[in-house]
Amino acid sequence: TSRAIGFIGLGAMGYPMAENLIKKMPKGSKIYVFDLDEDCVGKLCSAAVGKAEACANARQVAERSEIILSMVPEGSHVREVYLNPSEGALLADLSNKLVIDCSTIDTATSLEIRTRISEKYPSANFYDAPVSGGVLGAQNASMTFMLGCAEDDPNFSRIHGLLSLMGGSIFACGGPTLGLTAKLCNNYCSGLIAIATAEALNIGIRAGMDPRVLAKVFSTSLAQSCINDKFNPVPRICPDAPSSHDYKPGFKVGLMRKDFALAVDTAERVGANLALGEKGLEVYTGAMQDERCKGLDSRVVYRYLGGDEE
Ligand code: NAD
pTM of the shown model: 0.95
Q: How is 136-154 classified by DSSP, letter by letter? A: HHHHHT-EEEEESS-TT-T
CA 260, CA 257: separation in Å to the nearest integer? 5
Distance 204 CA to ligand 1 centre (A): 35
Rama region for 58: left / alpha / beta (φ>0; ψ in -120 to 50; rest): alpha
> Residue 41 has what pLDDT?
98
> Residue 84 has what pLDDT?
98
Using a 6 Å CB cutoff, which residues line ligand 1? Answer: 8-14, 34-37, 40, 58, 71-73, 77, 80-81, 103-104, 131-132, 134-135, 250-251, 255, 259
> Residue 262 has what pLDDT?
98
Active site residue 23: no
Tens digits of pLDDT across the chain (310 residues)? 779 999 999 999 999 999 999 999 999 999 999 999 999 999 999 999 999 999 999 999 999 999 999 999 999 999 999 999 999 999 999 999 999 999 999 999 999 999 999 999 999 999 999 999 999 999 999 999 999 999 999 999 999 999 999 999 999 999 999 999 999 999 999 999 999 999 999 999 999 999 999 999 999 999 999 999 999 999 999 999 999 999 998 999 999 999 999 999 999 999 999 999 999 999 999 999 999 999 999 999 999 999 988 7
CA 292, CA 304: separation in Å to the nearest integer? 8
> Residue 2 has what pLDDT?
77
CA 81, CA 83: separation in Å to the nearest integer? 6
Q: Give the three-state DSSP class for 23.
A: helix
> Residue 1 has what pLDDT?
74
Q: What is the dihedral angle through the alpha carbons of 207, 209, 210, 212, rounded to the nearest 10 degrees?
A: -100
Residue 306 dihedral angles phi and psi, to the nearest 5° = 90, 20
**ipTM score:** 0.99
Architecture of domain 4-176: 3-Layer(aba) Sandwich (3.40)
> Residue 93 has what pLDDT?
98
Distance 279 CA to ligand 1 centre (A): 26
- Give the count of beta carbons closer than 10 Å to the beta carbon of residue 270: 8
Could you tell me if 112 and 139 are in contact, meaning their C-beta atoms sit under 8 angstroms apart?
no
> Residue 111 has what pLDDT?
98
CATH number of this structure's domain 180-304, picked from the four choices 1.10.1040.10, 1.10.3720.10, 3.40.50.150, 1.10.10.10 = 1.10.1040.10
CA 29, CA 21: separation in Å to the nearest integer? 10
Could you tell me if 280 and 260 are in contact, meaning their C-beta atoms sit under 8 angstroms apart?
yes
Pocket perturbation via mutation, ligand 1, pick of 15, 17, 34, 35 by most ligand atoms within 8 A of CB: 35
Kindly state the helix (H) or strand (E) to which residue 31 belongs, with its residue range. Answer: strand 30-34
Active-site residue (options: 27, 30, 43, 183): 183
Domain locations in the chain as residue ranges? 4-176, 180-304
> Residue 97 has what pLDDT?
97
Q: How is 47-101 classified by DSSP, letter by letter? A: HSTTTEEE-SSHHHHHHH-SEEEE--SSHHHHHHHHH-TTT-GGGS--TT-EEEE
